[in-house]
Structure 1
Amino acid sequence: MPSNFGIVDLFAGPGGLGEGFASLVEDGHIPFRIGISVEKEASAHKTLTLRAFLREYLARHGALPTQYIDFHADGVLEPNWSEVDAPAWQHAIDEAHALELGTEAAKTTIDLAIEKLRASCDDTVLIGGPPCQAYSLVGRARSRGKVGYVPEEDARHYLFREYIRVLDKLRPAAFVMENVKGMLSSTVESRLVFEMLMEDLSSLGTGRGHQYELRAIRVADGIATLQEASKPSDFIVRAEMFGVPQRRHRVVIVGIRADLANKAPSAKIRVSKPVRTVNDVIGTMPSLRSGISRGMDDTAAWRREVIDAAGLLVRVHAGMEDEPLREAFSLIAGRMLEEVPRSRTGSDLPVNYGASSDELMRWLERPELRAIAQHATRGHMVSDLGRYLFAAVFGTVRGFSPKAADFPFALSPEHRNWHSGIFNDRFRVQLAGEAATTITSHISKDGHYFIHPDPLQCRSLTVREAARLQTFPDDYLFMGNRTQQYVQVGNAVPPFLARQIAELVSASIAR
């Protein structure tokens, strides 16, 4: 009989890591089933609960409920899911919990779930990762600017200890811990956080027979394996090597319980085709225009502003020798008269949707859907439209995103340090023919780092485009307002990557 593993998912966010594990099917068998997932942020918890409901409904009925397909397409009135399928909804409530790790309420709930999993599964697996803000380089820089901020008193630095507590209580067959690269250099009390973490993990279970061998995921010639690490950077996983259309580099530590570790050295999987691009996954999405955040916002007004910006760029480059760039601006100005996208929302399914033989597209596209959801643009300041246009054209012509020094003086924002190098990457276009840069929660702020590659659309990425670059399937809905949706997408583990990590873990521990 194939093994059944119960999953404990901590710091789950919208469920990217759990989705990858729960979606793995091997010879008709589902080896991983989520027993409990924990996320304290309210909108992410709603996303997590709805996804848990859909998984259970699919297991019971073999198809998505029509009520969900309608809600996904229209997004107007959310059904009462308990009326759609009461047992499935109760299962979702029992699985997804809105709790803050480290509290007594969380401890009690998790410990009860652990006892249930032990009774119902062959073994367990722990997944997740502490919040990244206190570890990330940007997060640490922001924290240093706070009056009275003391790193040693920031509870986020120690949230990994709650992960350790659960790990010690659960004693799973394996665990997967994910975090940002910044944790490799983050320090508290003059000690490296990563060093402290590795000491805790290495000493776990000493004298009690459940120590863990710590492994790093390595990819060579399209094959992923679990290897011993010789240095901290060995634990960095590059998502683009797994067919994710994004240069997302994260620390992933895999621990295999000592009594099962004999299979780990020989475990291997073939990873998905690498070098996937932005255009591969969002190139067929409905074309949209951005909005104007201040003043009149309609297609005519937007087009006038963009044509004016293109005209300005033509004039600015008139005396320069960069003929390809000047011609590109002239071409865009002409095409804007006829080809401009008219809508700020687009739900039409792309041509041949759901019929691709490509592995990644089969993962993203769900044939039962009748619309694309959460594909709507936000408004931008008129002055930023010119910068977005310049960046998109520059990226198309030059093959890289412009730095601050590349922007014409006429487009300089009113920042005192614009030309100092501090704002060098203030505006960044995603290149159509390359993998995206890392999708982060900062996309919820203004979109300047996530400019769409098509100059005719002159905008930042939508929630759905960001979700596709993160490899969330199209039937995955993010609850909450748009800002909360962007944050959830940016903070998540790409599910397509997570599924391949799950496959590698399964190869290491399945009996």
Structure 2
Amino acid sequence: MSKRRTAVDLFCGAGGLSAGLEMAGFTVLAGNDLFAAAGRTFEATHPNAKFFGEPIQDLKIDNLLRDTGLKKGELTVLVGGPPCQAYSVYNHQRGMHDERAQLFRQYLRVVEGLNPEWIVMENVAGIFSIAGGEAVHAIETELRALGYNVEYQIMRAEQYGVPQERRRVVFIGNRIGAPIRHPQPTHGPGLEPLVTIADAISDLPPLENGENPGCQNYPVEPKTEYQKALRGNAVEVSCHAAPRLGKVNVERLAHIPPGGSWRDIPFDLLPAGMKRAKRSDHTKRYGRMTWDGQACTILTKCDIHWGAYLHPEQDRAISVREAARLQSFPDSFQFVGSKTEQYVQVGNAVPPLLGKAIGLTLFELIAEAAEAEGAAA
């Protein structure tokens, strides 16, 4: 018997997790986010889903049910990643006192209101370090109080075909007594080779520092299966413009080889603050990518002062499109808003290929549960 598998995505941003679930075969019915530019991207890339552009505190369960055509208990999976700033290792004031750390309770409110069969919740690994794991314990305890068994695991994006070192904790649970497991890695030693930066972006047009050519034709045919898959039916490259770096930064970049960093910059060219830095500090600042490696975690700003966001060959920071490729977004995603807003949308997202792996595993678990139920009947 064929049954449509449905999903609703809270804190959906531009829709990376939704895109992955759709790749796996789910029908995404709705998304919710406060970020207006991300919402416009979500609407453009998920035309059959209803977008609720409001704080989750204002999201009405009755409206969700009405606009998705669902009854309570009918939704297959509710997914979401409450904003992670309160949990991030980059936020040195993180803690449960931060009101953003309470947003998972709003996720739980929607869980109670929709009563989905399955839940998926993701966040940064830093969530484990808050008050001795208080947030993780609260999530487990409150989901169990709502009737959900839940398990969590740290997933490494590069093990699922994403050309980026990215760690996320993923909670998976259900209220139907089905087994729970996380996706098995598909890439790494003994598996498919890790996807490299060259695999991801080597087909994109070259850019000068600060150049914004608008939409362009692809200069070459796709060189890898990854490029072919992400291009899909797209005929032009969009969102591919180089941030403009100042003259002194351009001078610094000329000294940084692939795999190099701020340590390769002559002392007299270093920013004043970095002249006082220990050689062991700021290890990824002014980092240049290597073609045969994976990207560092794509953040909400691909700022060369933050990490290794220099193009492997060209003396510039990576474009929004390159960041999106490194996150595994299809080229059909045209990010809406200012360039700053576009980088935020890309950096905040769950990599679609990671979402696809989760979605495929959910399909397997659902099928196994149905088979077991049939055998017991």
TM range (shorter): 0.7 to 0.9
Q: What is the distance in 2 between the residues matched to 1:357 and 1:489?
A: 22
Match of 1:138 in 2: 90
Is 1:279–1:432's contact at 8 Å kept on the other side of the alignment?
yes
1:289 Cα shift? 1.0
TM-score normalised to structure 2 length: 0.87
1:196 aligns with 2:138: yes
Match of 1:499 in 2: 356
Q: What is the distance in 2 between the residues matched to 1:238 and 1:215?
A: 16
Match of 1:3 in 2: 3
Q: What is the distance in 2 between the residues matched to 1:268 and 1:153?
A: 33
1:14 Cα shift? 0.3
Where in structure 2 are the equivalents of 1:232-247 lying within 5 Å? 235-247=153-165
SS at match of 2:217: coil
**CA 1:470–1:191 in structure 2 vs 1: closer, same or farther (change >3 Å)?**
closer
Correspondent of 2:296 among 433, 437, 443 = 437
SS at match of 1:380: coil
Q: Which amino acid aligns with 1:433?
A: D
1:34 Cα shift? 1.3
* Percent identity of equivalent pairs: 33
Is 2:155–2:167's contact at 8 Å kept on the other side of the alignment?
yes
1:250 aligns with 2:118: no
Match of 1:380 in 2: 245
Is 1:286–1:350's contact at 8 Å kept on the other side of the alignment?
yes
Match of 2:57 in 1: 102
Is 1:405–1:419's contact at 8 Å kept on the other side of the alignment?
no
Is 1:11–1:39's contact at 8 Å kept on the other side of the alignment?
yes
Match of 2:213 in 1: 345
Q: How many residues align?
A: 362
**CA 1:446–1:191 in structure 2 vs 1: closer, same or farther (change >3 Å)?**
closer
Q: Which amino acid aligns with 1:97?
A: F
Q: What is the distance in 2 between the residues matched to 1:12 and 1:2?
A: 27
1:357 Cα shift? 7.2
**1:481-507, CA deviations, whole angstroms, 9 ceiling, x for partnerless residues?**
100000000000111221121001111
1:444 Cα shift? 6.0
Is 1:244–1:497's contact at 8 Å kept on the other side of the alignment?
yes
Is 2:237–2:331's contact at 8 Å kept on the other side of the alignment?
yes
1:18 aligns with 2:18: yes
1:122 Cα shift? 5.7
1:385 Cα shift? 1.0
Match of 1:317 in 2: none
Match of 1:458 in 2: 315
1:414 Cα shift? 1.9
**1:453-494, CA deviations, whole angstroms, 9 ceiling, x for partnerless residues?**
10xx20000000000000110111100010000000000011
Where in structure 2 are the equivalents of 1:20-59 lying within 5 Å? 20-24=20-24, 30=25, 32-53=26-47, 56=48
1:125 aligns with 2:77: yes
**CA 1:447–1:138 in structure 2 vs 1: closer, same or farther (change >3 Å)?**
closer
Q: What is the distance in 2 between the residues matched to 1:179 and 1:270?
A: 19
**CA 1:51–1:268 in structure 2 vs 1: closer, same or farther (change >3 Å)?**
closer
SS at match of 1:117: coil
CA RMSD of aligned residues (A): 2.6
**CA 1:410–1:344 in structure 2 vs 1: closer, same or farther (change >3 Å)?**
farther
SS at match of 2:104: helix
Q: What is the distance in 2 between the residues matched to 1:200 and 1:97?
A: 25
**1:75-102, CA deviations, whole angstroms, 9 ceiling, x for partnerless residues?**
xxxxxxxxxxxxxxxxx5xx11101012
1:193 Cα shift? 1.6
SS at match of 1:237: strand
Where in structure 2 are the equivalents of 1:335-484 lying within 5 Å? 344-345=212-213, 347-353=216-222, 358=225, 360-367=226-233, 369-391=234-256, 393=257, 395=258, 400-402=259-261, 404-415=262-273, 418-420=276-278, 422-443=281-302, 449-454=308-313, 457-484=314-341
Correspondent of 1:176 among 120, 126, 135 = 120
Q: What is the distance in 1 between the residues matched to 2:27 and 2:212?
A: 39
Q: What is the distance in 2 between the residues matched to 1:130 and 1:428?
A: 29
Where in structure 2 are the equivalents of 1:75-90 lying within 5 Å? none
Which entry has the higher C-alpha Rg, 1 or 2?
1
Is 1:135–1:186's contact at 8 Å kept on the other side of the alignment?
yes
Match of 2:195 in 1: 276
Is 1:345–1:377's contact at 8 Å kept on the other side of the alignment?
no
Q: What is the distance in 1 between the residues matched to 2:361 and 2:155?
A: 13
Correspondent of 1:290 among 190, 206, 209 = 209
Is 1:35–1:117's contact at 8 Å kept on the other side of the alignment?
no
Is 2:284–2:306's contact at 8 Å kept on the other side of the alignment?
no
**CA 1:168–1:430 in structure 2 vs 1: closer, same or farther (change >3 Å)?**
same
Q: Which amino acid aligns with 1:248?
A: R
TM-score normalised to structure 1 length: 0.66
Q: What is the distance in 1 between the residues matched to 2:183 and 2:41?
A: 32
Is 2:183–2:357's contact at 8 Å kept on the other side of the alignment?
no
Q: Which amino acid aligns with 1:255?
A: G
